[in-house]
Amino acid sequence: MSKIKKIGVFTSGGDSPGMNACIRAVVRTAIFEGLEVVGIRQGYQGMLDRNFWDMTARDVGNIIHLGGTILKTARCLEFKTPEGMSRAYENLKSHGIDALVAIGGDGTATGANLLSKKFGMPVMCIPGTIDNDLYGSDFTLGFDTATNTVIEAIDKIRDTAASHNRLFFIEVMGRDSGCIALRAGIAGGAEAVLLPERDTAIMELIEKLSDQANNKKTSIIVIVAEGDKNGGAYHVAERVKEKFDFYDSKVTILGHLQRGGSPSSFDRVLASRLGFAAVKGLLKGKDRQMVGLRGNVIVLTPLEEALNHPYFKLEEDLLEMINVLSI
């Protein structure tokens, strides 16, 4: 018999599509299993402010299709101090919370790991970020939806790029991760992709685009990840466009629209599986685990490993294909 009677669930860091579907899965699985559930609003900030919501199964009705997070989210510096973390723990305990499910990126998982190590409160983490930049899961929650949003935008830009013979630089999110840029580059048929994980010299890009122009391409799409070392789409465009006066050059920064929107079916199912598995894991006595998907199987990875394991998430075949399929 599990000693856990009441679990807290929260979202933290950047929101991502699918977080609501995941909250729903956590709340309903917990209630189905006879537990009480408390939603903690605004992540770690809500633990400090005692921003607690005793939830029922009805509180998560009609949210499976919504982007954002009904629990709100925040980035909280005070929680990182020893005093802040102790106060958060005391507030959780005084509300009767025995265990936590944290939904967010690496900052969220790092905080949950420290809290659990210091005070012995069981935690399960669910990788929720559009960046897909966590070890322990092939895909993070929201990545598929964000990539679909980007592709929809690229498709529209392609229409106008082709009509006007234009060279478009499209900047997508990913400060440290090129996952969105690479997938969107393949699925959107881009001519080149610039990624934070790989340095691309401007000369190399110019040579590549020249080859494509020589191959009679009348319009070109270059995807630039936000964290590319050349300094973003505007900088890249400034340095490249003068060499291509036969194309009209334009820049589009997609920005935060990539973070919102109704989650794809993939993200809704992933969210449901991860939330369900997190609660089941807690009931089996698991602690400090990242719940992830690997090869269509739900797996648990110790948080210590998930947070410290080196990883490279860009698929080698996709990296090679960008050059091959864009000739």
Active site residues: 131
> Could you tell me the smallest distance in angstroms from the CB atom of residue 111 to ligand F6P?
15
Neighbours of 79 (CB within 10 A): 21
Question: Which residue, 98 or 226, has its beta carbon nearer to ligand F6P?
Answer: 226
Task: Give me the least distance between CB of 147 and ligand F6P, in Å please.
Answer: 12
Q: Which residue is nearest to ligand F6P (CB)?
A: 14
CB of 177 to ligand F6P, least distance (A): 7
Indicate the residue among 84 and 107 with the shorter CB distance to ligand F6P: 107
CA dihedral 192→193→199→200, nearest 10 degrees, is: 20
User: Which residue bears the tokens 């969220």?
Assistant: 108
Reading the block at residue 121, the tokens are 């409160």
What secondary structure letter does DSSP report for 198? S
- Rg (C-alpha) for the chain, rounded Å, is 22
In the complex, minimum distance from the CB of residue 139 to ligand F6P, in angstroms, rounded to a whole number: 15
Residues contributing to the site for ligand F6P (CB under 6 A): 14, 129-131, 173-175, 226, 259
**CA pair distance 114, 324, nearest whole angstrom:** 45
With beta carbons less than 8 A apart as the criterion, state whether 176 and 133 touch.
yes
The smaller minimum CB distance to ligand F6P, of residues 28 and 72, is found at 72
Beta strands in 173-253, from DSSP E residues, in sequence order: 192-194, 220-225, 248-253
SS3 91: helix
Looking at the Cβ atoms of 130 and 151, the one nearer to ligand F6P is 130
Phi, psi of 192 (to 5 degrees): -155, 155
Query: Cα(213)–Cα(220) distance, rounded to whole angstroms?
Result: 9
Nearest distance from C-beta of residue 173 to ligand F6P, angstroms:
4
C-alpha of 147 from chain center: 10
